Structure 1
């Protein structure tokens, strides 16, 4: 499947979850996407990311919209308590995050970058979208190099939690300085390659696309608009 097709499927799933009210369809959608992630072996390790995001969010929504915390502080019941709204918001975000984690596992970064450059998007806009993805691996390597250098200097980056927090500027400032110093080099490299000279760029080994996938993408976008109109009308 083309990366844009799977991305459109995730957008449709997320929009459908956002338009649904609190009820069994929304609960089944949130739990079903989570179980689908657990059943898919390559993406099973991502359940920890979802747990680290959703459990604190559930606690925060419960403290804000729950009556117990208000009674503990003021002694009175919270008049503006909306536990149904909090539960609906939590299940909607659960569905969106589950779908995003499945999509991230299904579509490798390199394949998505090739799809961007092989698409009909302008070269400048495609590079704007793919630029952060291209820099991730380079930033990771620079961060490892800076960390080893700071450890050799005696900076307690592997110490206690509070020491690591205090030592974060020793990592972030050199990383930001190196990134900014490379902007002129990257700009010169793009000018030498004739960046934006041609309206459409070509890539090696572009992801395979077909007419039915294109029709499916347009159909899903139209379906999102229809669902949004029905949700706003009712």
Structure 2
């Protein structure tokens, strides 16, 4: 069951096994660091946000998750960048439009677009750095070992554990519908019409699976006690405890300074 296995007890969609320094750091330290970086990102200029994104990518490559980083960044940032370019660079007239033949582009709009893209890139890369080096089961054990409520711990870790089963289920539904003659390779109109045939079975199975999981957890008295005991809790070094405390203090201080200024 969730929380009882280790990194090799089941597949996850984003976790990349490894023995890097980031893999060995306590999951709670990485989670607090992620929150601090997310808060810091909104206080930095575009150049600073781009530096954060580049540093996260470098650390991800060193941790052995370079392929995951590249794939997720392309899938997420490319459509977003194109949409922002069209809206802010072409469609919105800011008074500084420069004619480039077929289209007129606003330099001010491109600058605004760049700020949004690098902010999203910074948040995305930092989040990827966390999920690719932290197995959800280990995260759940770390939360339990520090006295976090089982319900809250499960709420935090379960989405990462459920990504892979849902991905496999979605592919199975797609293959089954294609075998029944559903057109998923035609024009975009045909694909749009086929979308409900894929979504409805996935949602139905997800709701059924949710009820089964709830029944299993209740049968095991999941929340009978306020805290759970972990026999093989992840290693938590003293310097990590102090680092988490400092970062948790730094987050409201940073936000307060920005609001004050």
**Residue 5 of structure 1: aligned partner:** 29
User: Does residue 1:233 correspond to 2:257, yes or no?
Assistant: no
SS at match of 2:223: coil
SS at match of 1:167: helix
C-alpha distance after superposition, 1:141-163 (max 9, x if no partner): 43344334333322234x32534
**Residue 40 of structure 2: aligned partner:** 16
**Alignment check: 8 A CA contact 2:136 2:158 kept:** no
User: How does 1:121-132 map onto structure 2 within 5 Å?
Assistant: 121-132=148-159
Q: Quote how far apart the aligned CAs of 1:83 are.
A: 5.5
**Residue 6 of structure 2: aligned partner:** none
CA gap 1:181/1:57 in 2 versus in 1, 3 angstroms: closer
User: How does 1:1-80 map onto structure 2 within 5 Å?
Assistant: 1-22=25-46, 24-38=47-61, 40-66=63-89, 70=93, 71=97
SS at match of 2:65: helix
Residue 133 of structure 1, aligned match among 149, 160, 169 = 160
Give the count of matched residue pairs: 229
Alignment partners' CA distance in 2, 1:176 and 1:26: 37
**Residue 183 of structure 2: aligned partner:** 156
Identify unmatched segments of 5+ residues in structure 1. none
C-alpha distance after superposition, 1:105-144 (max 9, x if no partner): 1112332233334331112222222333333333334334
Alignment partners' CA distance in 2, 1:28 and 1:143: 36
Between structures 1 and 2, the one with greater helix share:
1
TM (norm. structure 2) is 0.71
CA gap 1:198/1:51 in 2 versus in 1, 3 angstroms: same
TM (norm. structure 1) is 0.78
User: Does residue 1:177 correspond to 2:204, yes or no?
Assistant: yes
Identify unmatched segments of 5+ residues in structure 2. 1-24, 99-103
| Aligned-residue RMSD, C-alpha | 3.2
**Residue 114 of structure 2: aligned partner:** 87
